[in-house]
């Protein structure tokens, strides 16, 4: 692949899933803003799925550096759960949140890519270059469904 094809030029939004951890979302978004090379190339969208006002206040404090979307809290919706799956109610609510947030990114906003994070994840300084330089792989390999930076063994150096 030619070097110019490796650097993805289209915007890749960062979708941050949040619920009720105000300080975690604040710290995570601060780090995203610190490391991102461009607000236009990497818009940050925080998606909240519960009714925690402190989370909303923290996100809104970033002003136009971050987009905020709020969904009706999962516990206030009529999610149909089979009787033999009642123990999985949290998973059904999380799946619903993912669907709503991803619909917002792909259907409502028309993006073709997304980077998904959660409010309690830590990121490294090369986070954005890693994803912008590996995005082309998804276009060139029909067997590849995602590029990930997840590391269960990450430790402070």
pLDDT tens-digit map of 13-44 = 999 999 999 999 999 999 999 999 999 999 99
Q: Per-residue pLDDT averaged across 57-85, rounded? A: 87
E strand or H helix at 17: strand 14-18
- pTM of the complete model beyond 0.95: no
CA distance 110 to 118: 22
Closest by alpha carbon to 66, among 100, 15, 109?
15
156, pLDDT greater than 70: no
List the structure tokens of 102: 């991803």
Residue located via tokens 């978004």: 29
CA distance 97 to 137: 27
Q: Quickly count: other Cβ atoms within 10 Å of residue 37's Cβ.
A: 10
Rounded to the nearest 10 degrees, how much is the dihedral formed by the CA atoms of 98, 104, 109, 115?
A: -20
pLDDT tens-digit map of 42-63 = 999 999 998 899 999 999 999 9
**What pLDDT does residue 9 have?**
79
* DSSP for 64-77, written as a single string: GGSEEEE---GGGS
**What pLDDT does residue 76 have?**
74
CA distance 137 to 95: 26
Which residues are CB-contacts of 66 (< 8 A; sequence separation ≥ 6)? 29, 33, 44, 45, 46, 59
């Amino acid at each position: 692949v030619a070097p110019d094809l490796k650097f993805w030029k289209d915007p890749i939004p960062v979708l941050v899933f949040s619920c009720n951890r105000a300080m975690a979302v604040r710290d995570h978004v601060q780090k995203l803003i610190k490391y991102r090379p461009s607000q236009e190339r990497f818009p940050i969208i925080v998606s909240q799925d519960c009714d925690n006002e402190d989370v909303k206040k923290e996100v809104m404090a970033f002003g136009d550096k971050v987009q905020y979307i709020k969904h009706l809290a999962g516990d206030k919706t009529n999610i149909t759960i089979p009787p033999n799956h009642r123990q999985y109610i949290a998973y059904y609510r999380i799946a619903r949140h993912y669907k709503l947030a991803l619909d917002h990114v792909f259907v409502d906003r028309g993006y073709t890519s997304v980077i998904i994070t959660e409010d309690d994840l830590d990121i490294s300084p090369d986070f954005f270059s890693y994803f912008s330089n590996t995005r082309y792989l998804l276009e060139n390999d029909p067997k590849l469904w995602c590029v990930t930076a997840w590391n269960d063994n990450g430790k402070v150096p």
